[in-house]
Amino acid sequence: MGDPYRTLGVAPGATKDEIRAAFRRLVVRFHPDKNPGREGWAGRRFCEIVEAYEILSDADRLRAYESRVRRPAASQPAPPRRPYYFDLDDPESRARQVLYLLLHRRVAEADATIAQEEGRWGPRFLRDHLEREDLVDCLFLLAEAREGSGLLQAAAALYEEVLGLETRVHRSRHFFPEVVARLKALYVRRIPRTVGPEEALRSYDRAEALGVGRVERGEIEKKRAMAFFDLGEIGRAAACLQEALRLNPRIKGAKRIGEKIRFAEGVCER
């Protein structure tokens, strides 16, 4: 076992939250299931990360490690230490600061840093100064923060960017399934509630482009039916509802929409 601090990428004296955040990030990245073709290497790396976390998160094991390497354990908890790159002002270090702040849920500070550095280096500040895997982590955390704040369109745009970055590689696509699931939830359920029927229809198209199964497509067709109904396009609404029922005859809510469509058709015939 090497230096557990180096293995997790944290400084001696790191807080429990810092250690936990680093551990969670690394086990996702290096899990053998996320590294097809490199399972052996990833498995060894994964075991090293787990062992490092077990040492740093257990007071007794940490004391034993400190004693073994002749690094005296402090009698009092060491004050939290910031990573070295907080003392640097180059764009790469500032970009890494953003990722650190996001990992520690300090979103306002991260946003302030991004705004400041984009003023210096332009709107591609993060894209130009983070390595691909760090950029994916950073954009995912930003998307998560935007979604939590109700900025759904901004969240979707960031998730789409993560998806694009993940699609370009054949290995370590650890965010791909999660991003697809979140985008579908945004495009099918959340965003349509906040926009008009025309934008809702575009949102359903984006969801379908991500790849959907029979049941998911039935749900989308049902929602399209309602959007077309709201636009006054009764014929297209009826066609979408018919397709939804073909895909899933037991789909919930279809009866209510069908009654609205039939009523509107009856009014139009008068």
Q: Distance (Å, rounded) from C-alpha 156 to C-alpha 96? A: 23
CA angle 142–147–152, rounded 5-degree value = 115
Q: How far apart are CA 52 and CA 58, in angstroms?
A: 10
Question: pTM of this prediction?
Answer: 0.70
Q: Kindly list the domain boundaries of the chain, sorted by start residue.
A: 4-68, 212-270
- pLDDT, residue 153, reads 97
Mean pLDDT by 10 residues, the chain (270 residues): 81 83 82 75 82 86 78 51 76 91 89 96 95 88 93 96 81 72 95 96 96 95 96 95 95 93 74
pLDDT of residue 257: 93
Print the SS3 string covering the chain: CCCHHHHHCCCCCCCHHHHHHHHHHHHHHHCHHHCCCCHHHHHHHHHHHHHHHHHHCCHHHHHHHHHHCCCCCCCCCCCCCCCHHHHCCCHHHHHHHHHHHHHCCCHHHHHHHHHHHHHHHCCCHHHHHCCHHHHHHHHHHHHHHHHHCCCHHHHHHHHHHHHHHHHCCCCCCCCHHHHHHHHHHHHHHHHHHHCCHHHHHHHHHHHHHCCCCHHHHHHHHHHHHHHHHHCCCHHHHHHHHHHHHHHCCCCCCHHHHHHHHHHHHHHHHC
Fold of domain 4-68: Helix Hairpins (1.10.287)
pLDDT at 80: 53
> Can you give the pLDDT at residue 82?
66
